[in-house]
Structure 1
Amino acid sequence: MGFSERLKESRKQARLTQVEIAEKLGISQPAYASWERGTKKPTQENLVKIAQILNVTIDYLVGNFDEEITNNKLEDIEILFRKNSEGLTDEEKSLFRQELIAFMEERKKLFEKDD
């Protein structure tokens, strides 16, 4: 799955329209739509804002994650995060996400030792 697909999927999971997210970013809806179509890429600044608005990591959006978190592990973490982070402050959400990733990596290490 590429950036544009992850972006669209994350927006839908956040239950936002293209118009709503474009307004939050201070850009036009057609400019945002070009990112979801894959014809253009957002600036680094807008990428950071998108990740914050959608409560996902930049690494998830762009597909830059370690081999240790591949094979749908990142998607699993995002699902766990979304289901359990409602009502948390932005700071608490950030800490919670980091703890989930660390937990998944430690579990993987434990299972590898048993093999």
Structure 2
Amino acid sequence: MNLGENIREARKAAGVTQKELAEYLDVYQKDISRWENGEQIPNALTFAKICKALGASADKILEL
């Protein structure tokens, strides 16, 4: 899997919608969609917030 797919899987496993995650991160829902579809990648600070919001480790999402 790639980063976007891993973010999607972590979000779904946490039971969080794209809209809910976007509101938590203070970004547009379209940003979440773009990350998950591999069109863009979140910056490091946002990635850390994603991990916190979803209760997922960065290692797992990055497949380290």
Tell me if TM exceeds 0.5: yes
Q: Which amino acid aligns with 1:58?
A: A
The Cα shift of 1:62 comes to 1.6
List gaps (5 residues or longer) in structure 1: 66-115
Q: How is 1:1-115 mapped onto 2 (pairs within 5 angstroms)?
A: 1-63=1-63, 65=64
C-alpha distance in structure 2 between counterparts of 1:2 and 1:31, whole Å = 17
- Which of 1 and 2 has greater Rg? 1
Q: TM-score of the superposition, structure 2-length normalised?
A: 0.93
C-alpha distance in structure 2 between counterparts of 1:53 and 1:16, whole Å = 9
Greater relative CO (CA pairs within 8 A, separation 6+): 2
The Cα shift of 1:46 comes to 0.4
Q: Which amino acid aligns with 1:51?
A: C
The count of residues paired between Structure 1 and Structure 2 equals: 64
C-alpha distance in structure 2 between counterparts of 1:62 and 1:15, whole Å = 20
Identity of paired residues, percent? 33
C-alpha distance in structure 2 between counterparts of 1:23 and 1:51, whole Å = 15
Q: TM-score of the superposition, structure 1-length normalised?
A: 0.54
List gaps (5 residues or longer) in structure 2: none
Q: Which amino acid aligns with 1:16?
A: V
CA RMSD in angstroms comes to 0.8
C-alpha distance in structure 1 between counterparts of 2:47 and 2:17, whole Å = 17
Q: Which amino acid aligns with 2:55?
A: N
The structure carrying a bigger helix percent of its residues is 1
